[in-house]
Amino acid sequence: MSDRIADIWGTRTPHAAGDDWPVRVDRYLEPGVPVRAVEWVQSACVLCSNGCGLDIGVHEGRIVGVRGRAGDRVNRGRLGPKGLFGWQANHAADRLTEPLVRRGGIKGSLEPAGWDEAMDLVVEHSREVLTAHGPLAMGFYNSGQLFLEDYYTLGVLVRAGIGTPHLDGNTRMCTATSDFALKETFGSDGPPGSLTDFDLCDTLFLVGHNAAETHTVLWARILDRLHGPDRPRLVVVDPRRTKVAREADVHLPIRNGTNQALLNGIQQQLIVNGWVDDDFVQAHTVGFDQLEATVAQYPPERVAEICDVPAADIRAAAELIGTGERLVSTALQGVYQSHQATAAACQINNINLLRGMIGRPGCTVFQFNGQPTAQNTRETGANGDLVGMRNWQNPDHVAELARLWNVDPLQIPSWAPPTHAMQIFRLIEQGSIRFLWVIGTNPAVSLPELHRIRSILGQDRLFLVVSDAFLTETADFADVVLPAAMWGEKTGTFTNHDRTVHLSEKAVDPPGQARPDMEIFLDYARRLDLRDVDGAPLLKWDTPEECFAAFKRITEGRPCDYSGLTYDRLRGGSGIQWPCTDKRPKGTERLYTDGTFNTDTEYTEDYGHDLVTGAAHERKDHTDLGAAGRAVLKTADYQPPNEAPSEDYPLLFTTGRTAYQWHTRTKTAHVPQLNAAAPEPWVELSAADAKQLDIEEGDLVRVESARGRLEAKARISGVREGVAFAPFHYGYWDTDGDGPGKHPRAANELTITAWDPVSKQPTFKVAAVRVRKLADGDGTPSPAPTTTASEPLTDDVPPTSGGTGVRETVRRTR
Amino acid sequence: MKLDRLIEDVYDHETTLAKQLRKTAERHAADHDIYHLGHSQARACAQRMEQLGPHAERHGVTPPEAPTSTSPTLVEGMRHATADLLGRAKPTGQLLVADLRKLYLAAQATELAWVILAQSAQAARDAALLAAASTGKDGTTVCAKWLRTRIKEAAPQVYAAG
């Protein structure tokens, strides 16, 4: 039995390039449950975008544990700590089990109501707003954690039924840049590679991707190569000394906000040293001349100055990248939530294109996702995209959709891109949106500059509906709260970050009156009486399987082609990667294997943008570009960040996650093993800054920006000098009524309202702050985990542990 | 040869555009993308003016001081404060579209000033000036295109929502 809180990644199973990743089945069951009596129900994990295949253990109608699925291509039986322990959140005593409505006006309280009363209220207010202000006064903000069927139902309901462009997901905070960078370079969304590329590569380039904590099972996969006989070389870009950085051959702890300069510099080195695959670039890309001219301005010495890392290390990194034979590059929030997000993400695509390393085994670029079902918000159009990876600027695409939905093309909002989340909140602030439905997400803690968000949500003129499994900080502002079923309590599908689609079956009934999100949306559409042009109900399905069948038809012929998938095909074995058609029933492991990309003007999902301003290219710009199946090498100069350190606020601030918590902890704080590992927020400082500020491990500190403040205990860690870090998970629902005024502990009190001009993803990772000590810690260390990037510099902090009872079974390979 | 007059014309247009960008940025500070991009585009104006410097001197024009002020003026500060105060009011949407329309025309006029300079530089066989003017033209084209994109997004909410 292993302690998987102490050892996040579990037992090593090292192997050489080209060998199959060995199977290791991880299992955790509630103590005392008779193993033989447990029934196993097929599912996959919803606590990160890796989407590990697992079975849910059920005993006497209760979920009692999980085990990894040995045959699944994603995890080969492994689970991370959140996957192993996270299911206990379903049992939380404070789950929402009945609808609540606010009685007694804005100052009144939320009180229990029946579904009919609650839904009638939602429908009545929707009708009022629609009559008085029209569809553009209606807004919907959903999650990255629903199932495909929930999203698709919501997408059709909002786009074709209500007809408002104001529908986005919290995926805007997490993977919008992944989506946009893929569209800019390759012509459509869709991760090109396969997770098996990690088993084959000889060089790894991880940019702003703390895989050890964000994707723990993927990191176990990478560790098995790093500790194997032919270790791939590893280049890491991260201002923190993460576990990933500790394994690196070259670690570039750049000043946050300077990715674009660094990546331009690496491309400059690839070009001047002749590490470019000229034949591939000539045949399969456009834009090289412009790229060459731009990056020529970024020699290592200039980049070293901007990023504050040694020029020799930049050269060394470029040499590893430039001389490998099988390169896998990856990006995550250190790119997406930083300055010049889309521009920098595109440069990572460029690097693989310059090396001619894409579409082949061991050669790819991953613009990773964060949330488990983020990919589906993008495919179903429940975020900033048009369903089926269609182009909102292409009238033929809109007409096709209207025909498939049997609605008037004009009904579908396509005059501009779907409104991004930050703009939806701006329109609420302005009083232009009067109705907002928040589904399975918690903007009152997760959006930037929280005092602003709270004041927007607290307006009297806004009617706020929240559907969730828990009473979140956002639900505190709601007029109606609807109890939603969680994972394990409903059936549906979702897709991970290498296009693997999993089926997750219902294992148990939801508690009380809680309902699956899809059923709530269907009920709403019925009560609103939404119809197609022939007067038939707009939403023509009742079950998840029928919804999946409807979605499949919409995707036929598009990049994310699901037409060959059925629930039956997804049962029993491994998840399957789209595109999956009747001709390719086993799915498709890699995209772009013939060097042809989705950039044909008729087919492309997006005509592209200027990366610095976000100016949208129009059809004529795209035809002029003449990409016609070639990838686009996008380029941009480095721009200084929106907020730089100053005399008043001398430190750079960045936020991030810890391996043990998820989002705003609505689920993980209800899991004893996970919550005990990271129970309270903390602030990380470098030894040099701590010394200068007279701060020691465990001291209570205040971090202030121009927008707010945060108080937490200090952890002296390996974060780069001049940078303060805080985890973004902590809010106020479990603080015994201590709100932000009395005891501010949400990292987003400090963050800036600014977003990337292309992906519109907020800039959580660059702000200016000052730090001072409030009280001595009396030698008690901060509650930050010792097992992760927050590892203390001294060895007198008790090690994080407490995840015993996990059985790991390594299957020996022949 | 009257290239000096065209260079002065470009300087005038860029200076006006930069001022107007900053003014709009502060006036609509509650629209955070307008605030950040307005200021960064104003810096881009200053950069284009600097890049024209050596060519201006060759043609006997003294480059004016580039409008690079990073700390806001008193008037700008007042505009910012007003924007924060009035950011809740619905008419700010209408005002934004109106201001962006004016800015778009200013960006177009500036682009045209660069086009005229580029054309004339080519006819005068001044390759270096032609290259500089082409770069300047590209920069203002992007600026105008950004404004066009933003207007297309903003207008329907103002005029089609009841």
In terms of CA atoms, which chain B residue is nearest residue A452?
B30
CA distances from A655 to A239, A695, B55 (A): 11, 20, 46
Q: Which one of A136, A426, A639 has the shortest CB-CB distance to B31?
A: A426
Predicted local confidence at residue A107, as pLDDT:
80
Q: What residues 115-144 of chain A have any CB closer than 8 A to a CB of chain B?
A: 132-134, 136-137
Q: How does the average pLDDT of chain B come out, rounded?
A: 92
Of B33, B88, B142, the CB nearest to A429: B88
A619 to chain B, minimum CA–CA distance in Å?
13
Is residue A751 within 8 Å of residue A449, measured between CB atoms?
A: yes
Number of Cβ within a 10 Å radius of residue A596: 16
Distance CA A484, CA A608 (A): 37
b/e code B110-136 from CB counts within 10 Å (16+ = b): bbebbbebbebbeeeebeebbebbbeb
**Could you count the other beta carbons within 10 Å of the beta carbon of residue A33?**
15
Highest mean pLDDT range out of A102-111, A675-684, B80-89?
A675-684
Q: Which residues of chain A neighbour B87 with C-beta distances below 8 Å?
A: 429-430
Residues in B closer than 8 angstroms to A432, CB to CB, are: 90, 93, 157, 161
Beta-carbon separation of B149 and A615 below 8 A = yes
From chain B, the residues in CB contact with A613 under 8 A are 37, 41, 142-143, 145-146
> Which DSSP symbol is given to A204?
E
Contact B157 A427 (CB under 8 A): yes
Residues B62-118 have pLDDT tens digits of 999 877 655 667 777 777 777 777 777 778 899 999 999 999 999 999 999 999 999
Cβ neighbours of A612 in B, within 8 Å:
40, 142
A2 contact B CB<8A: no
Give the whole-angstrom CA distance, residue A546 versus residue A149: 9
Q: Do the Cβ atoms of A639 and B90 come within 8 Å?
A: no
Chain A closest-CA separation from residue B7 CA (Å): 25
The answer to whether the CB atoms of B146 and A416 lie below 8 A apart is no
Place of tokens 């505009």: B79
Nearest CA in chain B to A166: B157
- Measure B56 CA to nearest chain A CA, in Å: 24
Does B151 score more than 80 pLDDT?
yes
Contact A416 B152 (CB under 8 A): yes
Q: What percent of chain A has pLDDT over 90?
A: 97
Q: DSSP letters of A331-373?
A: E-HHHHTSTTHHHHHHHHHHHHHHTT-SSBTTBEEEE--SSTT
The answer to whether A432 contacts B33, with C-beta atoms less than 8 Å apart, is: no
Confidence category of residue A105, pLDDT binned at 50, 70, 90: confident
Q: Is pLDDT of A446 > 80?
A: yes
In percent, the amount of chain A with pLDDT more than 70 equals 100
Beta bridge partners of A792: none
**ipTM of the prediction:** 0.95
pLDDT tens per residue across span A119-161? 999 999 999 999 999 999 999 999 999 999 999 999 999 999 9
pLDDT at A630 over 80: yes
Q: Which residues of A touch B149 (CB under 8 A)?
A: 614-616
Cα–Cα distance for residue pair A244/A717, rounded to 1 Å: 15
Residue A706 near chain B (CB below 8 Å): no
Is A297 exposed, middle or buried (CB count within 10 Å of its CB: 0-12, 13-18, 19+)? middle
Is A426–B32 a contact, with Cβ atoms under 8 angstroms apart?
A: yes
CA A23 to mean position of chain CA atoms: 27
**Is B121 domain-assigned?**
yes
Q: What is the mean pLDDT of residues A269-290?
A: 98
Pairwise CA distance, residues A727 & A764, whole Å: 11
DSSP state of A800: P
- d(CA A126, CA A135) in angstroms, rounded, equals 9
* pLDDT tens-digit readout, A366-388: 999 999 999 999 999 999 899 99
Q: Identify any residues that bridge with A749 across adjacent strands, giving them in sequence order.
A: none
Q: Is the peptide bond before A310 cis (omega within 30 degrees of 0)?
A: no
Q: Is A642 on the interface with B (CB under 8 A)?
A: yes
- Choose among B37, B93, B148: nearest Cβ to A757: B37
Contacts of B93 in chain A (CB under 8 A): 430, 432
Nearest residue to A598 (alpha-carbon basis) of A562, A626, A570, A631 = A631
Cβ <8 Å between A432 and B153: no
B83 domain-assigned: yes
**In the numeric block, which tokens belong to residue A139?**
């807004």
Q: Can you give the pLDDT at residue A545?
A: 98
B138 falls within a domain: yes
Tell me, yes or no, if the pTM score tops 0.90.
Answer: yes
Q: Do B90 and A431 touch (CB under 8 A)?
A: yes
**Domain range holding B140?**
3-60+72-160
Flag whether residue A616 sits within 8 Å of chain B, measured between CB atoms.
Answer: yes
- Chain A residues touching B36 at Cβ < 8 A: 642, 754
* pLDDT number for residue A104: 87
> What does the pLDDT read at residue B71?
61
Contact A417 B41 (CB under 8 A): no
* Interface contacts (A, B; CB < 8 Å): 76
pLDDT band at A34 (very low <50, low <70, confident <90, very high): very high
Asked whether residue B29 is domain-assigned, the answer is yes
Shortest Cα–Cα distance, A137 to chain B (Å):
7
Gap between the Cα atoms of A412 and A281, Å rounded? 39
A462 touches chain B (CB under 8 A): no
Which of B32, B33, B156 has the CB atom closest to A415's CB atom?
B156
Residue B67 lies inside a defined structural domain of this protein: no
Burial level of A99, CB count in 10 A (0-12/13-18/19+)?
buried
Whichever domain contains B146, its CATH number is 1.20.1260
From the list A154, A168, A176, A190, the residue with the least C-alpha distance to A418 is: A168
Mean pLDDT value across chain A: 97
Residues A103-113 as b or e (16 or more Cβ within 10 Å = b): eeeeeeebeeb
CA distance, residue B64 to nearest chain A CA (Å):
24
pLDDT per residue over A722-771, tens digit each? 999 999 999 999 988 788 988 999 999 999 999 999 999 999 999 999 99
Per 3-state DSSP, chain A is made up of helix, strand and coil in percentages (nearest 5) of 30, 20, 50
Contact (CB<8Å) B93/A615: no
Interface of B with A (CB under 8 A): 30-33, 36-37, 40-41, 87-90, 92-93, 142-143, 145-146, 148-149, 152-153, 156-157, 160-162
Residue linked to tokens 């529908």:
A167
Nearest-5° Cα angle at A415, A624 to A499: 75
Best A419, A424, A430, A707 member to test B by mutation, with max B CBs in 10 Å, is A430
Residues 409-428 of A with CB under 8 A from B: 415-417, 419, 422-423, 426-427
Amino acid identity, position A706:
A
- Nearest residue of chain B to residue A131 (CA atoms): B162
Residue B66, in any domain of the structure: no
Q: State how far residue A212 is from chain B, nearest Cα, in angstroms.
A: 33
Number of domains in chain B: 1
Interface probe with A: pick from B96, B153, B158, B159, most Cβ of A within 10 Å: B153
Q: Say if the Cβ atoms of A422 and B31 lie within 8 Å.
A: no
- CA–CA distance, A771 with A257 (Å, rounded to integer): 20
A753 touches chain B (CB under 8 A): yes
For the CA atoms of chain B, what is the radius of gyration? 17
**What average pLDDT does this structure show over A426-439?**
97
| Inside any domain, residue B38 | yes
d(CA A335, CA A179): 13
Cross-chain Cβ contact B142/A134 below 8 Å:
no
**pLDDT bucket at B161, cuts 50 / 70 / 90:** confident
Residue B69's pLDDT is 59
